[in-house]
Structure 1
Amino acid sequence: MGRRTTDEIVAKTLVPHLPTKAYRNINFLTGTKARTLRILAEYLEHEARFEREDVDSTIVFFGSARRGSGRPRRGEKSGGGTF
């Protein structure tokens, strides 16, 4: 276990009745109520990384690696080709 911060020591010894700050409460942060915060953190962390690395534009590819159900789609032969 790592070293405790001054805030943690003070909170435990001098003022034990104060609640844990939400941003330090791992039970809250991993719970369903903090889902929005976790999603926002994904955007903010990448934004900070791009700024730090001086990236000003990106290209995003969307796609899926999932395999289909095995049934041919409309306009597709059962062998996989198109009509």
Structure 2
Amino acid sequence: GIAMEVSTAGLRKEVMEIYPSKVFLDEAFQRNIPILISSDAHAPVEVGYEFDRALKFVKEVGYRKLHKFHLRKRIPIPLG
């Protein structure tokens, strides 16, 4: 299976926003495209950067679960 990445990397850059934009994430939600959250970390201090903000963002769009991968299998994670 596949999933679309929602990345907080843009919050560490000049653009100061989560990728993808809300317009694209709304479209993904309407098409039932699963998502995962990533910080696109290049240093240990960046791991998990602004995940709380990303969770709020995806919930506002309507997502009620994220996904992770284990042994190439997509596993749903319900959001509380």
Same fold per superposition (TM over 0.5): no
Normalising TM by the smaller chain, what interval? under 0.3
Q: TM-score, normalised by structure 2?
A: 0.24
* Larger strand percent: 2
Q: Which has the larger radius of gyration?
A: 1
* Larger helix percent: 1
